[in-house]
Amino acid sequence: MQVLSRHWRKLALAVVLLVALLIPLFIDNQYLLGLIMLAYIWAIAAYGLNVLLGYTGQLTLAHAGFFGIGAYTVGILTVNYGFPFWPSLLLAVVFASVLGFLIGIFALRTQNEYFAIFTLGVGFVIFLVIERWESFTGGSLGLIGVPYPEGLGPIQFEGPEQLYYLILAFLVLTIYVAASIAHSLVGRSFIAIRNSPDLAMAAGINVGRTKQLAFTISTAIAGLSGGLYATYIGFLGPAIVNVPTTFEILLYLLVGGMGSLSGPLIGAFLVTTIFEYFQQFEAYRLVIFGPVVILLIIFFPRGLAGLWGELEARVRRSPEKEAEGREEPSREEVR
């Protein structure tokens, strides 16, 4: 039964990837195509948060700050200094991960709610620096005219369709990295720390270094998503670095399911679509989704992906129970 389930999962992944590849061929609406690209970018950011929160159980409230560092690195280097996109994107990932590593040295000395409060302060400091340093970041006026990526050999990125495939490629790469981490010894160490740091330490896991690694990977993925956001949207303002953006990414993860491979993608698609179709309530969207998140945490703590997993497990157990019932006759049948 488990082998059959794996085959079905691989088949489902192949179908999803095929549909994603064919989307630009069947969708002529540029607005809808842009919405899908935006969902991909937020999904990449959610995968970064999932590495830290979903795997190790550390709630960071500075994720939008590192997302903004990646975005502004690409924006500043390409607009102000004329750098090509590709080295700018690489530097965005490097800057975000290095800063995440340095901040993690101090932040990870705290635990639980103190860690969340510390990172909340870090995120707010990053926001203030970007908003107030007008000569470098553009301040409240932002950066305008972030260009599309340069071509790679025969592949050119001159329109939304080409950019769509670029963002999709990075999304697939991010999912592959997340899956590799989850099924590796490092990923098992992350999960062991999430379940019980004391038991993980007793098992020989260096809890401090492992948390540091998870925080660095999380910030690197956030920087990648921010760099892609900059070239997609073409305009950057300090609002994307603010704390509400972190709560939106957290919302994607809660709705889709923490600690799962499909959860960030499901949550990003669903919530981004709902936000887009209810733009008239944009000022109240977090207020509206607040009770929804509370209900999800109470009744579906593992999100939609976890709900699907529970249903699949129930279906899988039913035939097994019936088989056990047939193999072990009752006392009355024996008599």
Would you say residue 327 has pLDDT above 60? Answer: no
For the segment 76-119, what is each residue's pLDDT rounded down to a tens digit?
999 999 999 999 999 999 999 999 999 999 998 888 889 999 99
The pLDDT score that the predictor gives to residue 325 is: 54
CA distance 38 to 168: 11
Closest CA to 153 of 92, 89, 76, 86: 86
What pLDDT band is residue 6 in, cutting at 50, 70 and 90? low
SS3 call for 120: helix
SS3 call for 272: helix
What pLDDT band is residue 282 in, cutting at 50, 70 and 90? low
In a domain? residue 79 = yes
For the segment 142-182, what is each residue's pLDDT rounded down to a tens digit?
899 999 998 887 788 878 888 999 999 999 999 999 999 99
In a domain? residue 307 = no
Predicted structure pTM score? 0.89
In a domain? residue 60 = yes
In a domain? residue 155 = yes
Would you say residue 314 has pLDDT above 70? Answer: no
The pLDDT score that the predictor gives to residue 5 is: 58
Higher per-residue pLDDT: 205 or 293: 205
The pLDDT score that the predictor gives to residue 321 is: 52
- Supply φ then ψ for residue 236, to 5 degrees: -125, 135
In a domain? residue 20 = no
Range of the domain at 163: 40-243
CA distance 328 to 325: 5
In a domain? residue 11 = no
In a domain? residue 216 = yes
In a domain? residue 62 = yes
The pLDDT score that the predictor gives to residue 48 is: 95
**Strand pairing class (143-144; 235-236):** antiparallel
- Number of structural domains (the chain) is 1
